[in-house]
Amino acid sequence: MKQFFYLNLVPQIDGYREVHTSDCRFFPTQHNRIPLGEYFSCREAVAAAKNKYLKSDGCYYCCRECHTR
């Protein structure tokens, strides 16, 4: 089943921007996110995010399998 993903525009302290699902407890505010679209996995969403910002990663809490740092 597809899920909708968003990219946080505010980078973490290490410069990475995180990909989130809308039900994440760390979901960014409306002014600090852009929609990435619907994907079957966070891997697809992170790949799409890297097209916009190379330093993108999955959120530890909602996209743990894509959190690599």
pLDDT tens digits, 33-62: 999 999 999 999 999 999 999 999 999 999
Which H or E element spans position 39? strand 33-39
Single-letter amino acid, residue 5: F
In the chain, the N- to C-terminal Cα span, in Å, equals: 26
pLDDT of amino acid 69: 86
Query: What confidence category does residue 26 fall into, taking pLDDT thresholds of 50, 70 and 90?
Result: very high
Work out the percent of the chain whose per-residue pLDDT is above 70.
Answer: 100
Model-level pTM? 0.93
* Across 22-36, average pLDDT: 95
- Residue spans of the domains in the chain: they are 3-66
